[in-house]
Amino acid sequence: MQKKYLAIDIGASSGRHIVGWMENGVLRTEEVYRFPNSVQRVDGHLEWDIDSLFANVKNGIREAFAKYPAIESLSIDTWAVDYVLLKNDQPIYPVYAYRDSRTQAVIPEVHSILPFETLYAHTGIQFQPFNSIYQLYADKKAGRLEQAEDFLMIPEYLLWKLCGVKAREYTNATSTGLVNAQTKEYDPEILKALGLPETMFPKLTAPGTVLGPLKADIAAEAGGQTNVVLCATHDTASAVEGIPMEQGDAPFLSSGTWSLLGVKLASPVTTPESCKANFTNEGGVGYIRYLKNIMGLWIIQCVQKQLGISFAEMVELAKTSTYTRIFDVNEARFSAPQDMSAEIRAALAETGDAPATDADLINSIYHSLAYCYGEAYREMEEVTGQHWDKLYIAGGGAKNATLNELTAHYTGKQVVALPIEATAIGNLKIQMNI
Ligand code: LFR
């Protein structure tokens, strides 16, 4: 009997429980549970329903045990930057979602205390208005931090609820914008300068650490017992671990709600050129994930919801269009617009002909995304002084043949599309220690 492991991978639009095991040297996976996730708009703010996420985490564990009573261990990864503040070990609500605009007002103040160039030289983390550093400062201004006794990133919170052990995991911690790229620990100078309590940002723990068994009440509810392990809890860190590369470390594109295009590097690049190009140095499993955030399938997901057609139908529609005008997918206006289609039409109308039909709109999105991948690849070659000839694409987006072809066209590189659940695979690999 092969040993079974459970990966719980939660993204901005869905979560899934995936059981994995080794069979004749090959990692096999089976999805045993899936649930929807989405940001909630409450009183003009964007929030996560953390209680419902935890309820679904438990439901899925119960399903996994129902099918596989013996599971060696489990772990959880989620998107990055968001966190739970705790008082008396209870969440301080709301748990804000990163697309919320509350950070806008505090960004200039943070940069007046610590200019962005200084932050980048310390952390190597690219500017994103939603980085935890700005969210925490917004919490400080709102008096929420004052009440808080503890701080856990979302996966750490969910893991703690399962096993009772609080751990701070290195890869996800780097996404806060508070971790020093050289020491790989929270940066005391940044914490002090911003008045963030050092006690809430203790030593970091490496992925692969065993936290302990499920709490007795959780095990009883789930119908089984297992060990809780800390994987690379940032989903992108797990995804990069899960992408098999034939030889060496070629550039990757983790293509989901976000498109993360980058390469594994042995050490961080925190030069002013890298800062200007806004590449990030996130923590990886024994390397740096040098990458750029590109707005990604989020744009397509929003338009798909608006049009009420399937992703496959969108691809078919695009094929009927010859409209290939490009817009800048990374503009802040596409981060959380009320009406994505209208926002894109408006952006294109500002510089020329607007798309006349839905087919034109969709075709323009695919071209604009792939164009942006090409630009990011070239910038990455320029800043690192290295050259590559391939791009590995994994995640949901890898299944889109049209987008893959356009990506090959705009990057001028050989595209290796891997229609695999790279994130769950990476999560499992850390648990299996392979
Ligand atoms: C992808 C991801 C990105 C991060 C963004 C926000 O799911 O984790 O890596 O920049 O979500 O957390």
1: confidence class by pLDDT, cuts 50, 70, 90: confident
| Exposure class string for 248-274: b at 16+ Cβ within 10 A, else e | eebbbbbbbbbbbbbbbbeebbbeeeb
Active site residues: 235
User: Per-residue pLDDT for 248 more than 80?
Assistant: no
Query: pLDDT tens-digit profile of 256-266?
Result: 999 999 999 99
pLDDT at residue number 247:
67
pLDDT bucket at 286, cuts 50 / 70 / 90: very high
What is the atom index within ligand 1 of the atom nearest the CA of 234? 8
Looking from the CA of residue 128, the nearest atom of ligand 1 is 10
Does residue 303 carry a pLDDT above 90? yes
* Pocket flag, ligand 1, residue 236 (CB < 6 Å): yes
pLDDT of residue 249: 83
How much is the CA Rg of the chain, to the nearest whole Å? 21
Joined tokens for residue 67: 């099918």
* Portion of the chain with pLDDT greater than 70, in percent: 100
| pLDDT value, residue 246 | 72
CA of 78 to the centre of ligand 1 (A): 8
**pLDDT band for position 185 (cuts 50, 70, 90):** very high
Pairing of strands 259-265, 252-255: antiparallel
Comparing 79 with 249, which gets the higher pLDDT?
79
Q: What pLDDT, in 10s, does the model give residues 2-20?
A: 999 999 999 998 999 999 9
Cβ within 8 Å of residue 293, ≥6 positions away = 126, 128, 258, 259, 260, 280, 330
DSSP element (H, E) containing 116: helix 116-123
Query: 228 with 162: CB under 8 angstroms?
Result: yes
Residue whose CA is closest, atom 6 of ligand 1?
A: 80
Please say whether the beta carbons of 203 and 180 come within 8 A: no
Label residue 182 by pLDDT band (50, 70, 90).
very high
- Phi/psi at 202 (5° precision): -75, -165
- ipTM score of complex: 0.99
Q: What CA–CA distance (Å, rounded) separates 109 from 47?
A: 24
Q: Which ligand 1 atom is nearest residue 80's CA?
A: 12
Does the beta carbon of 79 lie inside 6 Å of ligand 1?
yes
Protein residue with its CA nearest to atom 12 in ligand 1: 80
Each residue of 22-56: pLDDT tens digit? 999 999 999 999 999 999 999 999 999 999 999 99
Tally Cβ neighbours within 10 Å of residue 223. Answer: 13
The string of pLDDT tens digits covering residues 315-352 is 999 999 999 999 999 999 999 999 999 999 999 999 99
DSSP summary character for residue 194:
H
Identify the pLDDT of residue 245.
Answer: 83
